[in-house]
Copies of this chain bind each other. A is one copy, B any other.
Amino acid sequence: MKVAQATDAAMPDMGLPPRARIGERWDQVDTPSLMLDLDAFEDNLRTMQALAERHGVALRPHAKAHRCPEVSLRQVALGAQGICCQKVSEAFPFLQAGLRDIHISNEVIGEDKLALLATLARSAQVSVCVDHPEAARALSAALQRHNASLRVLVEIDVGQKRCGVTTPQAAVGLASLVQSLPGLTFAGLQAYHGGAQHKRGMAQRRGACEKAWKLTRQYIDALAAAGISCPVVSGGGTGSAAFDIASGVFTEVQAGSYAFMDADYGSLDWGDDLAFRHSLFMLATVMSRAVPERAILDMGLKSTTAESGMPIPHGIEGVHCVAVNDEHSILAVEPGARIELGDKLRLVPGHCDPTFNLHDELVVVQAGRVHAIWPISARGLSR
């Protein structure tokens, strides 16, 4: 053991300074930071809410996209029915913030998680997905033990090839079982097609959705033929929302990313119909400029993710991101591009969901100045 290392040495003050101060300019914020353009964000919320209302479909925006209760409160204030969470533990900061209508858009397996779900169901109107009879029985037993009840959606696989029953017969059997189990109320179907969300062309995306709708209708018809009412059909995402809302198939739509528009969703063909704006940015500093053709940012995989495409520099010409390492991003710089050591750059992140999950705070900017700092309270809550 080296003498220089000693746990009994006087401890320095460990408080790190704040990353941003209310009222300062956006380019005075420390980096890397996650930043929200409040006006673009609120425009996006209004656009989607108006679309849903025009077609009489409920909006239940997904909180997994951001894990930030302040976002959900604004969506509900504009008329959203409630929210979706993907994980039970994730729902608790939203419950604490006052959200009281929460759909867990996922299967919940294991005693620890079922006990937590029962706790949630005692404090809010909660629904959850099942895709297996064994899971429905375990859910009912746990709810009974904790004197709780909730609504159940049977998840159906409409092309995602992930969770969900794969035949109308299995869905009818599972719905009947749910109806028979104490603590559970069968409320309908969840039909989410993740793969359809990210198809680039409008026609391709609509085509994938139409296949999913056709399948979903077969499930609805099979339930009706078995005398089982299906009040809720929940699904849809940002890529398919405009089609799904108008489809007549869904009673509620789960889109989440529309509030932010990451680089992946931004790269889709949107036609003239539904213009969402980029509202979410990474702020990063140019930390190395050793050669003219390259600039290095102080932002890496611990601050944003690249599995759905590179972050895109915003408001600057001749510069693009070619790699994201653990703590660095590498920018290729074209001749003549103006980018200097110490510059602060905004970048549209490739994928909003896992990027939000890397940050504890969202720096909210309006008219170029820091307006608020919203805690991302469900960051890391994946149980």
Contacts from A to B (Cβ < 8 Å): 1-2, 4-9, 11-14, 16-17, 19, 30-32, 64, 73, 76-77, 79-82, 86-87, 89, 92-93, 95-101, 106-110, 112-113, 115-116, 119-120, 122-123, 125, 131-132, 134-135, 157, 161-166, 194, 285-291, 294, 296, 298-303, 305-307, 325-328, 330, 341-342, 353-354, 357-360, 379-383
B19 and A100 within 8 A (CB): no
Residues of B within 8 A of A291 (CB): 166
Q: How far is the CB of A238 from chain B (nearest CB, A)?
A: 13
Q: State the Cβ distance, A364 to closest chain B Cβ, in Å.
A: 18
A376, chain B: closest CB distance, angstroms: 10
Closest Cβ–Cβ distance, residue A84 to chain B (whole Å): 12
- Are the CB atoms of A96 and B14 closer together than 8 Å? yes
Q: Is the CB of B16 within 8 A of A285?
A: no
Q: Which residues of B contact A30 (CB under 8 A)?
A: 110, 112-113, 383
Nearest CB to that of A98 among chain B residues?
A: B7
Q: Which residues of B contact A32 (CB under 8 A)?
A: 382-383
B287 contacts A107, CB within 8 Å?
A: yes
Contact partner of A289 among B4, B17, B132, CB < 8 A? B132
Q: Would you mind naming 29 contact pairs between A and B with Cβ atoms under 8 Å apart?
A: A1-B79, A2-B79, A4-B82, A5-B82, A5-B99, A8-B98, A9-B98, A9-B100, A12-B119, A12-B120, A12-B123, A14-B92, A17-B112, A30-B113, A86-B327, A87-B327, A107-B287, A107-B288, A161-B294, A162-B328, A162-B330, A163-B328, A164-B290, A301-B354, A305-B307, A306-B307, A357-B358, A358-B358, A379-B380
Contacts of A287 in B (CB 8 A): 106-109, 163
Of chain B, the residue at the smallest CB distance from A108 is B287
A357 and B6 contacting across the interface, CB-CB below 8 Å: no
Interface centre among A6, A17, A120, by most chain B C-beta atoms within 10 angstroms, is A17
A329 to chain B, nearest CB (A): 10
Q: Is the interface of A mostly helix, strand, loop or mixed?
A: loop
Q: Do B162 and A296 touch across chains, with their CB atoms under 8 A apart?
A: yes
Least Cβ distance of A301 to chain B in Å?
4
Contacts of A290 in B (CB 8 A): 131-132, 157, 163-166
Number of copies: 2
Q: List chain B residues, Cβ under 8 A from A112.
A: 17, 30
Known: A86-B326, A288-B162. A101 touches B5 (CB 8 A): yes
Residues on the B chain within 8 Å of A13, using CB: 119
Q: Is the CB of B296 within 8 A of A163?
A: yes
The CA-CA distance from A303 to B86 in the complex, in Å, is: 13
Q: How far is the CB of A80 from chain B (nearest CB, A)?
A: 8
Residues in B with CB closer than 8 Å to A110 are 30-31, 285, 342
Say whether B302 contacts A2, CB under 8 Å.
no
**Contacting residue for A6 out of B9, B100, B306, B330, CB 8 A:** B100
Q: Are B307 and A301 in contact (CB under 8 A)?
A: yes
Instruction: For A327, list chain B residues within 8 Å (CB).
Output: 64, 86-87, 106, 382
17 more A-B contacts (CB under 8 A) besides A17-B112, A326-B354? Answer: A5-B76, A16-B383, A30-B110, A30-B113, A31-B383, A87-B327, A109-B288, A131-B288, A157-B290, A161-B294, A162-B288, A163-B287, A163-B290, A301-B307, A302-B357, A357-B358, A379-B380
Point out the residues of chain B lying under 8 angstroms from A122, CB to CB.
12
A360 touches B342 (CB 8 A): no
Check A92 against B330 for contact (C-beta < 8 Å): no
Q: Which residue of B17, B157, B383 contacts A116 across the interface (Cβ within 8 Å)?
A: B17
Given contacts A302-B357, A342-B109, A354-B302, contact A77 B380 (CB under 8 A): no
